């Protein structure tokens, strides 16, 4: 059973044909979720992936997320039921990378 603890191990996995190839499980998850963020769908919104324009870099709007992280559950790394399609925002929220803005302590204060 492979391990996915280090950055290099994860990079190798996410570049593998089992994950991102034509018949990879990542594409299966995107198809199953209709290329839409499942969390946005629960909130009544729609977020779909951007379209590739020739000669330009494609803006990534959707990620395929492991519900149970591969570093702790390597057996579930290629299990379709462990995957969900999330937009970049909801993926960052799930991973704890979104922080609330600090309130301006001077907001509403009078200026003389």
Is residue 15 domain-resident? yes
* pLDDT one-digit tens code per residue, 21-41: 999 999 999 999 999 999 999
Torsions phi, psi for 80 (to 5 deg): -60, -35
Is residue 67 domain-resident? yes
**Residue numbers of the domain that contains 59:** 7-94
Is residue 107 domain-resident? no
Task: Give the mean model confidence (pLDDT) for residues 98-110.
Answer: 74
Q: How wide is the angle at C-alpha 38 spanned by C-alphas 33 and 43, nearest 5°?
A: 145
Residue 67, pLDDT > 80, answer yes
State the total domains in the chain.
1
- What average pLDDT is seen over the chain? 89
CB of 84 closer than 8 Å to CB of 28: no
Is residue 108 domain-resident? no
Could you give the C-alpha distances from 95 to 21, 53, 56, 66, 90, in angstroms and in order? 25, 29, 29, 11, 9
Q: How much is the pLDDT for 103?
A: 77
Is residue 109 domain-resident? no
Is residue 106 domain-resident? no
């Amino acid at each position: 059973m492979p391990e996915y603890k280090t950055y290099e191990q994860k990079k190798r996995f996410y570049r593998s044909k089992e994950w991102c190839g034509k018949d990879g499980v990542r594409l299966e998850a995107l198809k199953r979720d209709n290329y839409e963020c499942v969390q946005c769908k629960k909130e009544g919104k729609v977020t779909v992936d951007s379209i590739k324009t020739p000669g330009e870099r494609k803006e990534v709007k959707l990620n395929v997320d492991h519900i149970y992280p591969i570093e702790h559950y390597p057996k579930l790394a290629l299990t379709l039921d462990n995957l969900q399609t999330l937009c970049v925002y909801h993926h960052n929220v799930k991973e704890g990378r979104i922080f609330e803005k600090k309130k301006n302590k001077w907001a509403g204060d009078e200026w003389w």
